[in-house]
Amino acid sequence: MTPIRVFVCTVGLVIALAPVAASAQDLSAEHLAAELANANAQMQGAMEQADAIEAQTQLNMANDRVIALLDSETLRQHQLDNSANGMAIEQITRALANAARQQGDFNAQNELGIAQIKAAVLVEHADATVANALAQGRPDEIANANAQSQLMHSLADTITSVMAETNMSSARLHGEQVADEIHTVGIANAENSTAMGANDLFAADVALADGQIAATSESVSGADKASEIIAHATASVRNAEAMAAEH
């Protein structure tokens, strides 16, 4: 029974009880007996109405709890979805970060290979120059070729050591920086999903608590309405009984 119907029935019952006081001038035994019978009938109706209110109250309480449970479960499912998405993104970015590091290592090896090729070209050219000078047998050219050869060998060593190491370190560092940038996004997304999930869980708990509060409010309101109706009917019965006892 909806609150409006309960209110209408309550008003009707109060109006129905009104003649008890209005007709108090008729003190005949027949009239007093009729008044008592009417009051008892009204009590029976009030009890039935109170039972209907109780049934509707229980239904409303159950609805409040079910709605709260559904809201809570929706929020919890949202939390699970957020967490799953956050973890998936973090795993993807982790894999991409590892690929970036591997690319950095690959680029470092390429830098070493390029340095070795450059050094080999310099050494080969220096050796060829020395060999040509020796073949011609001219001491000045031989001395000059040997001096250039020493310089080229030294330069080749520098290329394959210091310069190569610098370029390799730069390649690895670049790969690590790219990896960090990629993975940082995934980690931030996972942390954000976790935070949002915590909010969802809190909201889910609040939804359950709100449902219980609403159910309790329904219970108190229904009990008050039923008690009011029974109280009116009880007062009418007692009044009719008192009038009949006096006369």
Which of 131-145, 200-214, 231-245 is most confident? 200-214
Task: Give residue-wise pLDDT tens across range 155-189.
Answer: 999 999 999 999 999 999 999 999 999 999 999 99
Q: Please report, for residues 146, 155, 156, the alpha-carbon distance to residue 142 in angstroms, rounded to integers and kept in the order given.
A: 6, 20, 20
pLDDT digits (tens, 9 = 90+) for 62-82: 999 999 999 999 999 999 998
Strand segments (E) across the chain: none
| Residue 233 pLDDT class (50, 70, 90 cuts) | confident
Its pTM surpasses 0.75: no
φ, ψ at 112 (rounded to 5°): -65, -45
Containing H/E element for 75? helix 29-136
Strand, coil or helix: what is 26? coil
How many alpha carbons fall within 13 Å on the CB side of residue 247?
16
Task: Please tell me the least confidently modeled range out of 16-30, 116-130, 182-196.
Answer: 16-30
